[in-house]
Amino acid sequence: MTSDNMLRFRERLNGVVFGGDYNPEQWPRDVWDEDIRLMKEAGLGMVTIGVFSWSALEPADGVFEMDWLDDVVDRLHAGGIAVDLATPNAAPPPWMAEEHPEAMMVDRHGKRIGIGSRGHFCPSSPVYRDRSLRMARKLAERYGDHPALAMWHVGNEYHAECFCKQCDERFRYWLQEKYGSIDELNSRWGTVMWSQRYSDWGQVHLPRPVRGHVNPARQLDYSRFNSDVQLDLFRHERDLLHEITPAIPVTTNFFQNVSLNDYHRWGSEVDVVAFDSYPDPGRADASARAALHYDLMRSVGGGEPWLVLEQAAGAVSQWPRNYVKQPGRMRLGSYQTMARGADAVMFFQWRASRTGQEKFHSAMLPHSGTASRTWREVSELGRELPRTATVVGARSEADVAIVWDWDNWWAVEGCFHPVNDFSYADTLLEHYTPLWEQNVAVDVVTLSTDLSRYRVLVIPNQYLITAEQRVALEEFIEGGGHVLVSYFSGIVDGDDQIITGGYPGGLRDVIGAHVLEFCPMLPETSVAVRAVEGQDLLPAGFSGRALRWQDDLVSEGAQVVAEYTDSHLRSKPAVLDRRSGDGSCVYLGTTLDTASYTAVLRSLLQRAGVAPVLDAPTGVEVTERVGQTQRFLFLLNHGAPTSVCLDRDGIDLLTGEQHRAGETVALASSGVCIIESDR
């Protein structure tokens, strides 16, 4: 549900928020005048300030210099630009490192991290926490009533791992709270293995480097602890800000491709989910990968619209080759975020820096200034966006959900499995991409989410499953839901302990089969599979390839969909289908090649009555957002020029043209069309 402060925020910003990070302290004041002028020219509605301003605001411990920020906030307000004010905790100043070295992060190998970059603090340090809260309070008290203040931006891209003594001690407390007794910890961690039984809490430590691999249950708890520790930092600042300025929403910017934070847990702690989006324009899978993350962001926020707080206007600078966004692609990518639920399109950063590590990261206003293609595209977008104001607040509805579970991520990549080069993130994308290509709306959930609203659930390699989750899954199927689950699922419980009784202990009844043995394939090899008779998921005679892994699978009532025609598992099942009342569970005992996987998935969607948002040519991404009175159809052309036949009457928000159902609209390459219709 939208929080009150976010309702107020929407009302105030009055449209999709356009803006970016603004670091005026890097420039003399005469540049500030130009900044405000050009911001207005480009139509910026809000800027984020202060993210890395701690040493500018507090050059020495307890010595504050905030006049310059007063000036900035006033000027922005005078220019009609709202302020997303950051608490600058991501980069504590040099004085803290010097005077309180224990407030600095210690790496896995026990070395204290030096200053000169960012994110170098210890999240358990009392000094760090005290000084960062003091700073947050200063800012809240000074600017809480300022009319420019629209939002709080706490910290920056939380993603730390600290192995200092303070964190070590805190890990012990966390474990004591979780397990109560050392015997319980011993039992749950399985410390009987390799003589790891603890006889006293004092013996329990963070997983510092060992010979070989550490106990995976200990590693898993550390990952949970670490996400909690950082979330705890955020919560303290949020609570303080809520207390002083209850009307101002508080958020922090989530981060792409970072496994450290369980965003499903974080999502409910922010007033609005915000995301830094950096797809790599040099990668072929950039748009699908981006879409998956956008669906995640929308989902962890409970389906609420979310904000893009950062994206690149052009190239970034941290990769080996930093490919630019081709003409039109920044605009296309921006609308893609809106198509999947974003109500803000913001950039890192407003004006490209002259100094430091990120000076070659693109900006709305690049070093080459207003003559640049970047500026032209950015300012055109800024002038265009107000036409889409009615989209704000509209939500997406999905019949399909995919499971992305951090506990599982940490566990399945933890230690010593049959296939140790397994990537959960890549696997998620493999499972998601055909859904994206078919323009099927997808939510991103865990098995602890309320699943009743979905018709199809895709579960990639859910190695770890709790008893509650298994029950939920059974109820989902009994309730008529359809599941697609891939191999190496249901193997361990929440303590990374094998669920006994034959693989997959947690899902044997659900899939209607058991697995005798996991048979990984060697790299670059594959095995032939073919559809069998009597099933309805694959066309008769269909054949394909199996990759990476074979389950030695024994059906216990499930219909065999496809079998191996090669290898020592010849004639054994590769894919199963267990019908159960109106529901069903399709089990993949291998990684199917893309075409085969897509075929199975399509059939399952048909069975469940799930249709694409719209039939559209390959390369056209289609989504729908639904507001209180209108609905919005987004057409995004990632490919060559093409056209799409509409299924409804409506008005194109960007052109103002009226369209009728059955009418065909042309889409240029990188073209975008947003059709607003009555609901």
Minimum separation from the CB atom of position 46 to a copy of itself (A): 22
Question: Residue 173 is which amino acid?
Answer: Y
| Residue 118 known to bind ligand | yes
Residues 374-413 that bind a copy of itself (CB under 8 A): 374
Site membership for a copy of itself, residue 317 (CB under 8 A)? yes
Cβ 129 vs Cβ 226: under 8 Å: no
Site membership for a copy of itself, residue 116 (CB under 8 A)? yes
| Residue 164 known to bind ligand | yes
CA 197, 203, 208, 212 torsion-angle sign: negative
Listing from the earlier edge strand, what are the strands of the sheet with 250-251?
A: 250-251, 149-154, 82-87, 46-49, 17-22, 342-347, 306-311, 274-277, 253-255
Residues 154-213 that bind a copy of itself (CB under 8 A): 189-200, 202-205, 207-213
Q: Pick between residue 203 and residue 571 the one whose CB is nearest to a copy of itself.
A: 203
- Please list, in sequence order, all residues whose beta carbon lies within 8 angstroms of the beta carbon of residue 203, skipping any fewer than 6 positions away: none
What are residue 91's phi and psi, to 5 degrees?
-140, 80
Which of the residues 157, 304, 430, 563 is marked catalytic?
157
Minimum separation from the CB atom of position 275 to a copy of itself (A): 20
Geometric angle at alpha carbon 464, from 233 and 419, rounded to 5°: 110
Site string for a copy of itself, 420-449 (x = CB under 8 A): xx----------------------------
What are residue 483's phi and psi, to 5 degrees?
-120, 140
Minimum separation from the CB atom of position 350 to a copy of itself (A): 14
Count of residues near a copy of itself by CB under 8 A: 119
Residues 54-113 that bind a copy of itself (CB under 8 A): 54-56, 59-60, 63, 88, 90-95, 97-98, 105, 109-111, 113
Site membership for a copy of itself, residue 498 (CB under 8 A)? yes
Site membership for a copy of itself, residue 368 (CB under 8 A)? yes
Residues 5-64 that bind a copy of itself (CB under 8 A): 23, 25-26, 52-56, 59-60, 63
Q: Could you tell me which stretch among 350-358, 538-546, 635-643, 670-678 binds a copy of itself (CB under 8 A)? A: 350-358
557 by DSSP, 3-state: which?
coil
Geometric angle at alpha carbon 559, from 566 and 611, rounded to 5°: 105
Choosing from 236, 242, 417, 579, the residue that interacts with a copy of itself (CB under 8 A) is: 417
Minimum separation from the CB atom of position 530 to a copy of itself (A): 22
- Structure tokens, 669: 């390459």
| Residue 156 known to bind ligand | yes
Site membership for a copy of itself, residue 115 (CB under 8 A)? yes
| Residue 461 known to bind ligand | no
C-alpha to C-alpha distances, 439 to 270, 612, 622, 635, nearest whole angstrom: 29, 5, 6, 10
| Residue 645 known to bind ligand | no
Site membership for a copy of itself, residue 126 (CB under 8 A)? no
310 has catalytic annotation:
yes
- Cis peptide leading into 504, omega within 30 of 0? yes
- Please list, in sequence order, all residues whose beta carbon lies within 8 angstroms of the beta carbon of residue 373, skipping any fewer than 6 positions away: 327
Site membership for a copy of itself, residue 552 (CB under 8 A)? yes
Minimum separation from the CB atom of position 384 to a copy of itself (A): 21
CA 230, 236, 239, 244 torsion-angle sign: negative
Which of the residues 58, 304, 310, 563 is marked catalytic?
310
* Cα distance between residue 433 and residue 345, in whole Å: 24
Question: Residue 43 is which amino acid?
Answer: G
Choosing from 147, 180, 246, 282, the residue that interacts with a copy of itself (CB under 8 A) is: 282
Give first-to-last CA distance, the chain, whole Å.
20
Burial of 522 (0-12, 13-18, 19+ CB in 10 A): exposed
Minimum separation from the CB atom of position 88 to a copy of itself (A): 6
Minimum separation from the CB atom of position 647 to a copy of itself (A): 34
Q: Could you tell me which stretch among 9-17, 289-297, 316-324, 669-677 binds a copy of itself (CB under 8 A)? A: 316-324
Q: Pick between residue 60 and residue 661 the one whose CB is nearest to a copy of itself.
A: 60
Site string for a copy of itself, 502-531 (x = CB under 8 A): xx-x--------xxxxxxxxxx--------
157 has catalytic annotation:
yes
Site membership for a copy of itself, residue 454 (CB under 8 A)? no
* Cα distance between residue 660 and residue 210, in whole Å: 67
Torsion region of 372: left, alpha or beta (phi above 0 gives left; psi -120 to 50 gives alpha):
beta
* Residues annotated as catalytic (active site), given as ranges: 157, 310
Going by the annotation, the residues of the binding site are: 118, 122, 156, 162, 164, 167
Going by the annotation, the residues of the binding site for Zn(2+) are: 122, 162, 164, 167
